[in-house]
A and B are shown apart, each in its own frame.
Chain A
Amino acid sequence: MEIFANPKIDWLGKKWIFLGISAFLAVAGLVSILTKGLNLGIDFTGGTLVYVKFREEPRLDQLRSALASAGIKAEEVTRYGDPDEHQVQIRMARIATEATQDLSLESNKIIEALRGQFDKGAPAGGVDLNNISRSSLTQQLQQMDPEGFGKRASVSDTAQHYTDLANRIIDYRTEQGGVIRNFSELSGAGVPAPVIKALEQRAYLGNFTVVSVESVGPKVGNELQTRARNAILASLVGMLIYIAFRFKPIYGVAGVIALFHDVFITVGLFSLTGKEISLNVIAALLTLVGYSINDTIVIFDRVRENLKLVRRADLATIINLSVNQTLNRTILTSGMTFLAVMALYLFGGDVLNGFSFALVIGIIIGCYSTLAIASPVVLWWQTYQDRRNKAAKAATA
């Protein structure tokens, strides 16, 4: 199958159209970054993020007022993920300074406030089956001994029996996404009736469970911002040096200008869409730097080959020829990687959403920038050099 049988497109002739598109995207991104800014994740800003999952449809207004009355200034209380999963994300900026306050306290405060609001009716001293740990549940079951096992069997057998039982209950809870909705479900999971009955008396099913907590101190955040920037810049310099070494310095410069263009436009789109820039997104950007240079290398490689083969033609013709010769490859490789990344974007879950978004955008921009940015830069430089050489010759003549 051929996508383009024998393309004869004058790419360099269309450079003003390409540059126009790039300029538009870059300026839009820049304006957005300057006015709206970037939505940096707590990895970079510092702060606390608590994800909770509710048994029933969560009332966000109740949640907000519970936090407010506990004196917690939540920056953001939003739903996330599949609406049927009843999940809520609470983000809180860090107020306390590193030295005086303990990071783990902040998430605890949020969780306590939620408990006060949503588990008001919980029996005093009862254990919350939706948040209890494996070891605590084991201990509880051993103490209660609802099956009267202790009278019949040895201590270690009893311990083993209730450890297994606790594991079964916790594994079931995990299977259900962390929340058990009612006690009767447990019989389906193979928990004996007397145990369920005992649990009903001693335990309760909390109305929410804590899915995950992320707390980052301001020091770590600031450090990471610097490191992320340095890592991206360093990898760009790495590319510059490698390509300059393998080809000519100007090819390296052109390649890196194209890369910078890709990263900048991708970051600009993150600003425009308001998507969060997390640690994973930085990883995606770095991957992009390594990947999107590939197209450029393939074309430069072909230009070098053609320069030897077609001695007569000028550089513009050779570049056009090279781009056309490798066009099928460029589209196919980017297309294949795009398919994989698209699968990641659609099915990879919430955690990787930003990561795959950056790659989806980056691969498109990267494919385009080789044609639109890298080649014209090389051509311009060559034309400029030729003109200077001519002028120098004329001067000596």
Chain B
Amino acid sequence: MKKNLKYRLLVVLLITGVCIYLFVPPSKKLNLGLDLRGGIHLVLQVVIHDALLAEAEQVRDRIDGQLREKEVAFSESRTVDKANSPEIEIRGVPPDAQPAVEQQLRDYSSSWTFQTRFGDNQVDYVLQMVPAVRKALAQQTVAQARETIRNRIDQYGVAEPSITVYGSGDVPDQIIVELPGVDDPGRVINLIKSTARLELKLVHPEKSNPFSSQESAIQAFGGKLPEGYGVLPYRDINETGGQTQYLVVRKAPSVTGRHLKNARRSQDSFTGRAEVSFFLNTEGVDLFSRTTEQNVGNRLAIVLDDEVRSAPVIESKIASDSARITGTFSSEQAEDLALVLRSGALPARISILENRIVGPSLGMDSIRSGIMASLVGMGLVLLAMVIVYRLAGVNAIICLIINVLILLGVLGYFRATLTLPGIAGIILTIGMAVDANILIFERIKEELRLGKTVRSAVEAGFNRVFTTILDTNITTLIAAVFLFQFGTGPIRGFAITLAVGLIANVFAATFVSRAIFDWYLQRREVVKLSI
């Protein structure tokens, strides 16, 4: 018994020591959550449909080209935007051309299946994406978006960002971005969500002047744009005076952001205005020089996210590897644009589902009030325990302190993030920790009233209520698990502190408290217990 007790006390001291080591100093071992440090919490949704549509358009373009090359007869091909997955249609195929079309389509059968729709003496083919391929593409899109966002945030420089994919559907399509300490939310949100799709597109050679509206641009071509051309808004500080005008440009880009090697902020040597220079890789330089060579006298539009930024006239073949994006940038904006161009385009648009910004002063207030409430709560509980239970109350206090130390130690070990609700969880743990002590003490009192000796009353007190303590803690633990499932961020922080606190509580109230009682009773003959 005596030897056994020594080991038990040793275990208690050891665990307490380890836990203190694990969380001291708290400023280094415990991470503060966004709500305490200030920062941004964003829930983004990747518009996967964008990527599916782009893929469909690309495949359609390829099939169209191949069929034309083989001189297979058909009236038109088009991409049809359907809610869940886009479809490709090859329309108006005469009966004698069907075998040739079907043979061509079979090349794509691993990712696109086709069905036939019969009309008057002609057939339409409808292609649908294979579900597994669609899923893979969706996953790839989300992963790529996440990578791009991470890249941008890393380049901007945020300590300890957290970027996680989240969602409940077939393919999780939400990205949760948590950026502690960021105090420039507008700028960072722009960095994250700009698609940054850079393209160089040729302006229609005959009608290359800007139009005042989209309608007038279409009107100029007699109500229907020529095949392969589209209208894009055009804003250029020098040319349009900052007003929005419209240009008719080729849909297919000559050079894209994929051909980018680097981008950086630069300065116009005449005006001193900030601008962005970008540099093409070898393949890009090749495409660029070929395009400029073949289109001398035409205009080449520099398009960023479907908006023409400038459209200079090609004077001669350009073999250089660099070009500039001009505009009314502040130097910060130019810096940011260069950054997003360097990090690559997002594979799809991103919409912001949730946006929370916590200023640092609010976080500091929260920490202050959290600490205040913890101290007051702990003080009140300690005082009440000593008033009610005298010396046994001191036992409970030691248990409570060890309980809180274990809780902090475990949080420190797992590098858990402490949130404001997490602090509330600690306070709640303080309140609930003594519950088990009370349960035991009350039982001991009852046993004493029945006339048992001190030692056997203590023994009975602990043994009789052990299962009850287990039951009560397990039910609360069940609730904490559901809480964890339900919540994100701060709420999860609360669920974790609550759960860890409960487990520490069982240990403190049974093992630690018992060891202290035994130690106390071992040393002297106690006739009347101070309880």
Contacts and interface: CB of A to CB of B under 8 A. Distances in A.
Nearest to B494: A283
B475 A290 contact: yes
B389 interface: yes
Interface string B375-397: 01110110011011110000000
A89 to B, nearest CB: 12
Nearest to B156: A135
Interface string A304-319: 0100000000000000
Nearest to B531: A1
A186 B68 CA distance: 74
B361 A211 contact: yes
Main secondary structure of the interface of A (DSSP, over half): helix
Contact of A238 (B358, B472, B478): B478
A344 B491 contact: no
A79 interface: no
Nearest to B356: A214
Nearest to A294: B472
B454 interface: no
Contacts of B355: 103-104, 107, 213-216
B414 interface: no
B438 A332 contact: yes
Contacts of A134: 183-184
Given A344-B373, A351-B35, A351-B420, A133 B187 contact: yes
Contacts of A215: 352, 354-356
Interface in B402-440: 420-421, 424, 427-428, 430-432, 434-435, 438-439
A3 B486 CA distance: 40
A352 B421 contact: yes
A14 interface: no
Interface stretch (B12-20, B75-83, B91-99, B364-372): B364-372
Interface stretch (A25-33, A60-68, A334-342, A388-396): A334-342
B380 to A, nearest CB: 4
Nearest to B474: A242
A216 B42 CA distance: 10
Contacts of B372: 347-348
Interface stretch (A116-124, A195-203, A322-330, A376-384): A322-330
Given A99-B351, A220-B353, A298-B472, A290 B477 contact: yes
A283 B420 CA distance: 12
Contacts of A355: 421, 424
A84 interface: no
Contact of A335 (B332, B384, B390): B384
B193 interface: yes
Given A286-B483, A294-B435, A341 B475 contact: no
A329 B472 CA distance: 13
What bracket does the count of chain A residues touching chain B fall in?
Answer: 35 or more
B478 A220 contact: no
Contacts of B435: 294, 333, 336-337
A219 interface: yes
B362 A212 contact: yes
A333 B439 contact: yes
A217 B353 contact: yes
Interface string A341-375: 11110111101100110010000000000000000
Given A104-B352, A213-B185, A239 B486 contact: no
Contacts of B424: 344, 348, 352, 355-356
A166 to B, nearest CB: 11
B485 interface: yes
A190 B43 CA distance: 40
B438 A333 contact: yes
A39 interface: no
Contacts of B482: 231, 234-235, 238, 286
A347 B366 CA distance: 10
Interface in A95-124: 98-99, 102-104, 107-108
B467 interface: yes
B160 interface: no
A343 B382 CA distance: 13
Interface stretch (A69-77, A147-155, A171-179, A268-276): A171-179
A282 interface: yes
Interface string A210-245: 111111110110000001101100110011001100
Nearest to A282: B486
Contacts of A178: 359-362
B479 interface: yes
B357 interface: yes
Contacts of A239: 475, 478-479
B480 interface: yes
A170 B467 CA distance: 54
A246 interface: yes
Contacts of A176: 361
A136 interface: yes
A386 interface: no
A336 B385 contact: yes
Q: Taking each of B183, B186, B481, which has the highest tally of chain A beta carbons within 10 Å of its own beta carbon?
A: B183
B471 A349 contact: no
Contacts of B374: 343
B432 A337 contact: yes
A277 B268 CA distance: 54
Contacts of B315: none
Contacts of B360: 170, 174, 178
Contacts of B494: 283
Interface string B145-188: 00000000000000000000000000000000000000111110
A301 B465 CA distance: 9
B475 A211 contact: no
Contacts of A103: 351-355
A352 B420 contact: yes
B442 interface: yes
B173 to A, nearest CB: 12
B500 interface: no
Contacts of B481: 238
A343 B356 contact: no
A260 interface: no
B490 to A, nearest CB: 8
Interface in A162-195: 170, 173-178
B268 to A, nearest CB: 18
Nearest to A327: B442
Nearest to B467: A301
B139 to A, nearest CB: 21
Contacts of B480: 286-287, 290
A346 B369 CA distance: 9
A291 interface: yes
A339 B373 CA distance: 11
B189 interface: yes
B131 interface: no
Given A213-B357, A291-B476, A336-B431, A347 B486 contact: no
Given A231-B485, A297-B471, 11 more contacts: A103-B354, A170-B183, A177-B365, A210-B357, A210-B359, A291-B479, A301-B467, A332-B442, A344-B424, A347-B373, A349-B369
The 5 closest A-B pairs by CB, nearest first: A290-B479, A340-B431, A349-B369, A343-B377, A178-B361
25 contacts: A103-B351, A103-B355, A104-B186, A133-B183, A134-B183, A136-B184, A176-B361, A178-B360, A209-B361, A213-B185, A215-B356, A217-B353, A228-B486, A230-B486, A279-B490, A286-B486, A290-B477, A290-B479, A332-B442, A336-B385, A340-B427, A343-B380, A346-B373, A348-B373, A351-B366
Interface of A: 1-2, 51, 53, 98-99, 102-104, 107-108, 133-136, 139, 170, 173-178, 209-217, 219-220, 227-228, 230-231, 234-235, 238-239, 242-243, 246, 279-280, 282-283, 286-287, 289-291, 293-294, 297-298, 301, 305, 325-326, 328-329, 332-333, 335-344, 346-349, 351-352, 355-356, 359
